[in-house]
Amino acid sequence: MKNRIILAVAPTGGWGKRYNNPVQPASIAEDVINCVKTGASIVHLHARDEQGELTTDLSAFSKAVSTIKQSCDFILEASTGGLSDLNAEERVLPTSNTNAEMGSLNIGSLNFGNHVYQNSLPDVRFWIESMTRYGVKPSLEIFDTGHMETALSLINEGIITLPCNFSFIFDVKWGMPFHPDLLEYLKSRIPEKSRWAALLINSTDFSNHIVAANAGASVLRVGFEDSYNYNEKTALNNTELVKALRVELEKNGFSIATVKEARAVLL
For residue 1, tell me if it sits in a domain. Answer: no
Provide the pLDDT for residue 3: 86
For residue 192, tell me if it sits in a domain. Answer: yes
Q: What is the pLDDT of residues 110-138, one digit of tens each?
A: 999 999 999 999 999 999 999 999 999 99
Say which residues have a Cβ less than 8 Å from residue 202's Cβ, sequence separation at least 6.
171, 226, 227, 229
60 has a pLDDT exceeding 70: yes
φ, ψ for residue 170, nearest 5 deg = -110, 150
217 has a pLDDT exceeding 70: yes
Mean pLDDT over each residue of the chain, to the nearest integer: 97
CATH of the domain at 97: 3.20.20.70
Asked whether the CA dihedral 58, 61, 62, 63 is positive or negative, the reply is positive
Q: How far apart are the first and last CA of the chain?
A: 23
Which range of residues forms the domain containing residue 116? 6-266
Q: How does DSSP classify residue 173?
A: T
For residue 201, tell me if it sits in a domain. Answer: yes
From residue 162, give the alpha-carbon distance in Å to each of 65, 106, 193.
28, 17, 8
Question: Distance between alpha carbon 134 and the CA centroid of its chain, in Å?
Answer: 19
Give the pairing of strands 75-78 and 40-45. Answer: parallel
Q: Identify the band that residue 41 occupies on the pLDDT scale cut at 50, 70 and 90.
A: very high
For residue 143, tell me if it sits in a domain. Answer: yes
Find, among 189, 167, 197, the residue nearest to 81 by Cα: 167
- Residue percentage of the chain with pLDDT more than 70: 100
pTM of the complete model: 0.97
Whether 191 contacts 160, CB under 8 Å: no
Q: What is the pLDDT of residues 195-204, one digit of tens each?
A: 999 999 999 9
Provide the pLDDT for residue 51: 87
- By the 10 Å C-beta count (0-12 exposed, 13-18 middle, 19+ buried), 267 is classed as exposed
For residue 242, tell me if it sits in a domain. Answer: yes
Q: How does DSSP classify residue 4?
A: P
Q: What is the pLDDT of residues 153-209, one digit of tens each?
A: 999 999 999 999 999 999 999 999 999 999 999 999 999 999 999 999 999 999 999
1 has a pLDDT exceeding 80: no
